[in-house]
A and B are shown apart, each in its own frame.
Chain A
Amino acid sequence: MNRVAVTGLGLVCALGNTVAESWQRLIAGECRILPMRDPGSPPYKFRNGAEAWDFKPLDHFTEKDLVILERFALLAVVAAREAVAQSGIRFEGDLCDRSAVITGSSVGGQFTEEEGYIRLYRENNPKVAPLTIPRTMANAGASRISLEFGIHGPAYTIATACSSSNHALGQAFWMIRNGQITAAIAGGSEAVFAEGLLRAWEAMRVVAPDVCRPFSADRKGLSLGEGAGMLLLENWNHARARGAAILGEVIGFGMSSDAHHITQPCVEGPAKAIDWAIRDAGISPDQVDYINAHGTGTLANDAIETQAIRTVLGRRADSVLVSSTKSMHGHTLGAAGAIEAVACLLTLKHGLVPPTVNFTAPDPACNLNIVANEAARAPMHIALSNTFAFGGLNATLVLKGPED
């Protein structure tokens, strides 16, 4: 079995256009869930969202590119470029065939799809844009990344709602560990601020009217966010041989299905994913220093996640540090796992835990050691990153710091 190094990170989200910008805001505890640029007409029941506020497509792409790629794919490509640049990897020779691109996205190109429907149903115009299919397809980001870097190995996109990018990262991790590939660009992206999609979220009644307050007694739901996170995962020996700086390591992955209800969570499914991930990593629950929780801020998720963590971690659950960075960058759905994996790796590197902001009062149903409102300094070696999706699909990663 091969060790799997992380040699590059990329982020674009409400917190910033780069990993460095985003990390500054994460440790400062800056909530970037702010009034949406388009409040809706009539207004949405929620006024705030975590848009990728500073992202300007033309800073990264030509006008022609924007004809072919829509927002969720643009975000994915920019994050991938940052990760590849940091890693210093060059996709040449055999490595092109031995590398993969695995991305997650829950819905793909919604803006383009909605533009097509506006023409069809509002304007009674049957001629929808000819690039609707390539712009909309959920693999548009993965395909462009593979094209841009000349990667000829496995390239595909996983859609498991809010677990999409953890499933993508887990797949890439296992493929490198098993020796099927040498390197992978893996992560996910999502662009949720399209009117039809926002109305659908509104109808589900799970979005907080103001901001999400994960694990807080007065939490009223999630806050939607957009963005992308990408990781360059690489065979450890390959990374060492080319002298790459190793930023951290993926050491375990676990997944499960609740087989319980299409939207209501249960304890057993998430607990199984966490347990499997810990076993896959070959560690004991006592070795876990930090959990980047799924922590959406809905009443059900946070209480159920607390029980799942307690079920698997036992007494360790009293002391392990837990936070939900969704309180700052929002719930980025198919990008959540990747953005939060980046946050975990930086947490491990710096020994500094980003907080759960907007936290006002503890909830007995969420009796974990929540890092509330201010970052906490602590020795860090191993972190878990949880994602639990609608549809009952759970995926947990185990990440390790760069020290050994």
Chain B
Amino acid sequence: MPEQVETDALAEKVIRVIAHTQRIPPESVSLDSTFEALKIDSLDGINIVFELEKEFNIEIPDDGVQNLRSVRDTIEGVRKLVRSKSQTAPPGAA
């Protein structure tokens, strides 16, 4: 399995969602930012997850939300859910 490209379209979208939800400039959010450094608490976390579910049309489980600690975790979590969605979708489905 090749190394994940550091920033790609999905990662950029996730960063945009986090930045928008927190009302901070996207450039202040990097792959290596921790939620703690960005002052994202549990309540912000459920807001971010809500927006991500809408943006990517995925369902993020409650346990997943509690384990989010960084931007990188979030991107990889979203990537996994998006992949498993495209694998389970019937052929020809959008």
In this assembly, does A204 line the interface, its C-beta being within 8 Å of a C-beta of chain B?
yes
Q: Is the pair B43, A263 in contact by a Cβ cutoff of 8 Å?
A: yes
Interface Cβ pair total, 8 Å cutoff? 21
Interface centre among A204, A205, A220, A261 (most CB of B within 10 A): A205
In this assembly, does A262 line the interface, its C-beta being within 8 Å of a C-beta of chain B?
yes
Q: In angstroms, how far is the closest chain A Cβ from the Cβ of B19? A: 21
In this assembly, does B66 line the interface, its C-beta being within 8 Å of a C-beta of chain A?
yes
In this assembly, does A20 line the interface, its C-beta being within 8 Å of a C-beta of chain B?
no
Q: Is the pair A263, B50 in contact by a Cβ cutoff of 8 Å?
A: no
Within 8 A of B (CB), among A345-382: none
Give the CA-CA distance A263 to B65 in the complex, in Å: 16
Chain A 149-186 interface mask (CB, 8 Å, partner B; 1/0) = 00000000000000000000000000000000000000
Within 8 A of B (CB), among A262-277: 262-264
Q: Is the pair B66, A299 in contact by a Cβ cutoff of 8 Å?
A: yes
Chain A 190-223 interface mask (CB, 8 Å, partner B; 1/0) = 0000000000000111000100000000001100
Which residues from B are CB-within-8-Å of A45?
62
Given contacts A261-B41, A264-B41, contact A203 B46 (CB under 8 A): yes
Give the CA-CA distance A221 to B43 in the complex, in Å: 15
Q: Is the pair A205, B41 in contact by a Cβ cutoff of 8 Å?
A: no
Q: In angstroms, how far is the closest chain B Cβ from the Cβ of A219? A: 12
Give the CA-CA distance A263 to B49 in the complex, in Å: 17
Q: Is the pair A205, B43 in contact by a Cβ cutoff of 8 Å?
A: no
Q: Which A-chain residue is minimally distant from B47 (CB atoms)?
A: A203
Q: Is the pair A262, B43 in contact by a Cβ cutoff of 8 Å?
A: yes
Q: Which B-chain residue is minimally distant from A207 (CB atoms)?
A: B62
Q: Which A-chain residue is minimally distant from B65 (CB atoms)?
A: A205
Number of interface residues of B (CB under 8 A): 9
Give the CA-CA distance A264 to B41 in the complex, in Å: 9
Q: In angstroms, how far is the closest chain A Cβ from the Cβ of B22? A: 15
Q: Which B-chain residue is minimally distant from A209 (CB atoms)?
A: B62
Q: Which A-chain residue is minimally distant from B59 (CB atoms)?
A: A45
Give the CA-CA distance A204 to B46 in the complex, in Å: 7
Which residues from A are CB-within-8-Å of B65?
205
In this assembly, does B42 line the interface, its C-beta being within 8 Å of a C-beta of chain A?
yes
Q: In angstroms, how far is the closest chain B Cβ from the Cβ of A391? A: 12
Which residues from B are CB-within-8-Å of A221?
62
Q: Is the pair B46, A264 in contact by a Cβ cutoff of 8 Å?
A: no
Give the CA-CA distance A209 to B42 in the complex, in Å: 19
Q: Which B-chain residue is minimally distant from A203 (CB atoms)?
A: B50
Which residues from A are CB-within-8-Å of B62?
45, 205, 209, 220-221
Give the CA-CA distance A263 to B46 in the complex, in Å: 12
Give the CA-CA distance A45 to B61 in the complex, in Å: 10
Interfacial residues, chain B to chain A (CB-CB below 8 A): 41-43, 46, 49-50, 62, 65-66
Interfacial residues, chain A to chain B (CB-CB below 8 A): 45, 203-205, 209, 220-221, 261-264, 299-300
List 7 additional A-B contacts (Cβ < 8 Å) besides A45-B62, A299-B66: A205-B46, A205-B49, A205-B62, A221-B62, A261-B41, A262-B43, A300-B42
